[in-house]
Amino acid sequence: MGTIAKLYAVEKQIREAEPPLPENLIVKKRVEESQPILRELHDWMLAEYPKVLPSSPIGRAIAYALPLMDSMKLYTLHGQLQIDNNLIENAIRPIALGRKNYLFAGTHATAQNAAMIYSLFATCKKHGVNPHDWLLDVLRKLNNPTYDGKFSDLLPHRWKNHQGNPS
């Protein structure tokens, strides 16, 4: 198993532990299992760097990683930190894709409307609201001439709190 795969195997054990590990046990496991792997990786880079051309792909990779090793070890000391930023990358991917798509929206106003829709759907996702149910209910209420609620109550996070309450 490769060095990086070993680090991710430790994280998988932590993630899949039943019952979920408390923060202090996550740190203990990372200190005992991940830190030695990181030390081994650091020692390997120190030994290999003088043997490779600095302009080669591996030389550039080692030159980039070596000064960051102390920072790379920090996640092992904090149970709430992750080994990578994949969660954030996945969360912002729709925004990055949308940004590229906005170039083809036709008009500035259309791009702004699309951005607002993305924001509302992201808010639904953040608050565990089914976007389909939310949108159907909001459209029904907005088309109901007798609706006397506040428009701010229709925002996804507030809508969730008012579910089941007559409006």
What average pLDDT does this structure show over 21-41?
97
Give the tens place of pLDDT for each residue, 56-112. Answer: 999 999 999 999 999 999 999 999 999 998 887 887 787 777 777 777 778 888 888
- Contact by Cβ (8 Å): 160, 144: no
**Residues for the chain: how many in total?**
167
Indicate the pTM of the whole model.
0.62
